[in-house]
Chain A
Amino acid sequence: MAKLQTKNVKISGVCGALPRTVKTVYEVGEGFFDEPEIRKITLPIGVGNLYFAEEGQTASDLCYVAAERLIDGLGWQREEIDGLIFVSQTPDYIAPATSCLLQDRLGLSTGCFAFDMNFGCSAFVSAYFLAANLIDTGACSKVLLLIGDTLRRYVSPEDKGLTFIISDAGTATALERSTEGVLSSVIMSTDGSGSDALIVPAGGARMPMDSDTGIVSYDDDGNGRSSEDFYMDGMAVFTFAVKRVPALIDELAELHGMDKADFEYFLLHQANAYMLKFIAKRSRLPLEKFPVNIGRYGNTNGSTIPLLICDLASKELSMPKDVIMSGFGVGLSWGGVATSLGGLAYAGIVAVE
């Protein structure tokens, strides 16, 4: 099992960046679905607003704004930052890695190790796992996790399973070496046999875009999408999440040496509100320990956990909190981090002009 335990790492700060354009689910569905249908679809998933990147605005643009604000907010010296991980499914280019562009744009030193990772809903925990390893071994001392996506561009407006869920955002999370002795426990898992459950089939090397890949076809439920659009097998993803995540919570609590009932919060990827409730019930944990903010921001893919931390911190910044954070989705990939969020020196959400 891929796992890590360390007392040498802490999260120092988190910043979220949201694009300027925000739409209600009714605005998003206008022209494709009528109001009663939109209400019926969105009530259980709990979504109210969705964010849309501007034309030409990329995930790295959003992450850049979040990182600038975070670096200033923490008072970090740019030359001290020796690790930058950009996690996205919507990079600026096929090559080079977007993290290299961000290293330069942010004015970080050439002594910074910058690399990209391709993860979605599990982006935060995956990047945390790697960054914590880099810091724990002494390879790096201050690492930025820049996680963001502009997935709206890959969502068909006629796909009711995705168009009322997916939202654009970028985030920056600061991890650094710590002598405070805060324990972090991390477990990561993969099941590529479910790779077709969440996929954009066309546009990569396996299925290059051509004149046919953009043709929209309709499934039995009337959802229209092309091979260039994001696809989700709702049942496969739901089943995966509600089975894997409660088991992960149990494993992680045991590794961390705590009773799961003693954790104060479970910060889960905001897939949809009904699924989160079902996971809480199956874990036999109280619903109020599972904060839900999908109503405000939608499902921002890898950014959901950083945005949850920002919302939580805006209320309870100075209080030490034992939390389990868990991301799960495209890959299929899932994992979790058990730690305490007591040491945050900065948290905030900024609107990108």
Chain B
Amino acid sequence: MEEKLLISLADILEVDEDAVTLDTEFKTDAFDWDSLKGYATLVTIEDEFGVTVSVDDFIAAKTPRDLLSLIGCDA
């Protein structure tokens, strides 16, 4: 589950897979974070994990670990 999320996130962020770890703060300029990548992440979580995450919860999440918690799979 963790690996699946990290691979998907790296794809969305258009970076190498080893650039994203569970504690990477990905919503930063270092990853050129923007709303499009946010939408892509929400769609991916819904499709790959079958979970609909609220926008407010998603905005509060900073790391992949936070996302896993929202998905209901604490790492």
Say whether B39 contacts A238, CB under 8 Å. Answer: yes
B64 CB to nearest chain A CB (Å): 19
What total count of A-B pairs have CB within 8 Å?
37
Residues of A within 8 A of B (CB): 40-41, 43-45, 234-235, 238-239, 242-243, 272, 274-275, 278, 281
Q: A235-B55, A281-B11 are in contact. Are A243 and B36 (CB under 8 A)?
A: no
Cα(A335)–Cα(B55), bound, Å: 29
List the A residue with the shortest CB-CB distance to B12. Answer: A278
Say whether A238 contacts B40, CB under 8 Å. Answer: yes
Cα(A274)–Cα(B34), bound, Å: 11
Cα(A140)–Cα(B40), bound, Å: 44
List the A residue with the shortest CB-CB distance to B36. Answer: A274
Q: A238-B43, A243-B43 are in contact. Are A275 and B36 (CB under 8 A)?
A: yes
Q: Which of A41, A234, A242 is close to B43, meaning CB atoms less than 8 Å apart?
A: A242
Q: List 12 additional contacts besides A40-B32, A234-B39; criterion CB under 8 Å.
A: A40-B34, A41-B34, A44-B34, A235-B35, A235-B39, A235-B42, A238-B39, A238-B40, A242-B43, A272-B36, A274-B36, A278-B40
Cα(A11)–Cα(B34), bound, Å: 39
List the B residue with the shortest CB-CB distance to A235. Answer: B39
Interface centre among B11, B34, B37, B40 (most CB of A within 10 A): B40
Q: Kindly list chain A residues whose C-beta atoms are within 8 Å of the C-beta of B42.
A: 235, 239
Say whether A43 contacts B43, CB under 8 Å. Answer: no
Cα(A243)–Cα(B29), bound, Å: 27
Cα(A275)–Cα(B40), bound, Å: 9
Say whether B32 contacts A234, CB under 8 Å. Answer: no
Cα(A204)–Cα(B55), bound, Å: 32
Q: Kindly list chain A residues whose C-beta atoms are within 8 Å of the C-beta of B39.
A: 234-235, 238-239, 242
Cα(A239)–Cα(B53), bound, Å: 13
Cα(A235)–Cα(B54), bound, Å: 12
List the B residue with the shortest CB-CB distance to A237. Answer: B39
B13-51 contact mask (Cβ, 8 Å, vs A): 1 or 0: 000000000000000010010111111101100000000
Q: Kindly list chain B residues whose C-beta atoms are within 8 Å of the C-beta of A242.
A: 39-40, 43
3 A-B pairs with least C-beta separation: A238-B39, A274-B36, A235-B39
